Amino acid sequence: MERVTLGVEKRERVGKGGARSLRREGGIPAVLYKGGNSTPVKLSGKELSYFISKTAGEQVIVDLKFDDGTKQAIVKDYQVDPMTGDLIHVDFQEISATEEIKVTVHVAIRGEAIGVKRDKGILQYGIREVEIECLPDKIPGHFDVDVSNLGIGHSIHVRDLKIGDGIRVLTDLDEVLAGVISVKEEVVAAPEAAPEVAEPEVIKKGKKTEEETK
């Protein structure tokens, strides 16, 4: 598994105002979680943005280098500005080399299914992440799924993944990762139009960052 070192400092200014000031100065606010505790930290905006962009979709162990020592962590989540696409906040989870951890690993679909190329079928994607539990040094960057030999009516499931030793899969083994269906299966008779019924508007509330809760 790839490893990256990032310089990090503890952050004194918290809340929305402190986060905005830090970003104007070229930094990115972040939080390092361990158990039920959290530590506000800050990193170089340029360095952290490059790291997130380069490793998107991959699980990578990060050595967070403080002035008084280094802590190992993985990225659990990050937020970007919906208007500019700029990175605005990152959540890290501290890990121990001797303690198993639960993580989700991205599924990468490779190849062109024969059922699509030869038989004009349609490739349908299933779940795109699989949850596992293992020691940090056993975490794969991603799972490769080759669909080249997949014919119409066939699917690849979680149970078909090549899992390394020391890794326990927590996702349902019957979950579908990819499958090929015929075009005919896509043609479904349109149901009769039902009378329109006014429904109350539902406003979805997104995840709050650590700054928004201060």
Q: How confident is the model at residue 191 (pLDDT cuts 50, 70, 90)?
A: low
* Domain ranges, residue 43: 3-95
The residue behind tokens 């349908």 is: 124
CATH of the domain at 19: 2.40.240.10
Whether residue 14 contacts residue 73, with contact meaning beta carbons closer than 8 Å, is answered with no
- Residue 198 forms part of a structural domain: no
Domain final residue pick, 95, 121, 146: 95
pLDDT, tens only, 133-174: 999 999 999 999 999 999 999 999 999 999 989 999 999 999
187 exposure class (CB count in 10 Å sphere: 0-12, 13-18, 19+): exposed
Rounded CA-CA distance 201/204 in Å is 10
- Residue 109 forms part of a structural domain: yes
> What secondary structure does DSSP assign to 125-152, as a single string?
E--SEEEEEE-GGG--S-EEEE-TT--T
Q: Return phi, psi of residue 41, to 5°.
A: -135, 170
- Residue 69 forms part of a structural domain: yes
Give this prediction's pTM: 0.75
Q: How confident is the model at residue 182 (pLDDT cuts 50, 70, 90)?
A: very high
